Amino acid sequence: DADVTQTPRNRITKTGKRIMLECSQTKGHDRMYWYRQDPGLGLRLIYYSFDVKDINKGEISDGYSVSRQAQAKFSLSLESAIPNQTALYFCATSASLGQGAGNEQFFGPGTRLTVL
């Protein structure tokens, strides 16, 4: 079974709709992250959470919100989707240990979102 799962894997929606992407992990990690990936732009951090009560904005948080429901669950919402939010979205987790391999982030399989 996958350690980091994302649902849905693919989603097509219309401009103005509210969308929620969900992420669950069984790795027991405290830290969770949401990224979007666009061609030529690499992975850009949207939000991150170092524990259940800690939520932080990343590089490109405008138009997005998150909820950390439990240690294992971290959801990303687009309150009113727009076409330039069409992208590949990844959830990732890492351990609290921040040194060496503790910096390693484990990624989910991604959600391909298309906003028409």
Partner 1 sequence: QKEVEQDPGPLSVPEGAIVSLNCTYSNSAFQYFMWYRQYSRKGPELLMYTYSSGNKEDGRFTAQVDKSSKYISLFIRDSQPSDSATYLCAPTGGGKLIFGQGTELSVKP
Residue ranges in contact with partner 1 by CB under 8 A: 4, 31, 33, 35, 40-45, 48, 50, 58, 90, 92, 94, 98-101, 103-105, 107-110
107 or 114: CB nearest partner 1: 107
In the complex, what is the shortest distance from the CB of residue 60 to partner 1, in angstroms, rounded to a whole number?
12
Considering the complex, state which of residue 84 and residue 100 has its C-beta at the smaller distance from partner 1: 100
In the complex, least distance from residue 98 CB atom to partner 1, rounded to whole angstroms: 5
Identify the burial level of 45 via C-beta atoms within 10 angstroms of its C-beta, where 0-12 means exposed, 13-18 middle and 19 or more buried. middle
110-4-82-115 Cα dihedral, nearest 10 degrees: 40
How many Å apart are CA 90 and CA 6, to the nearest integer? 8
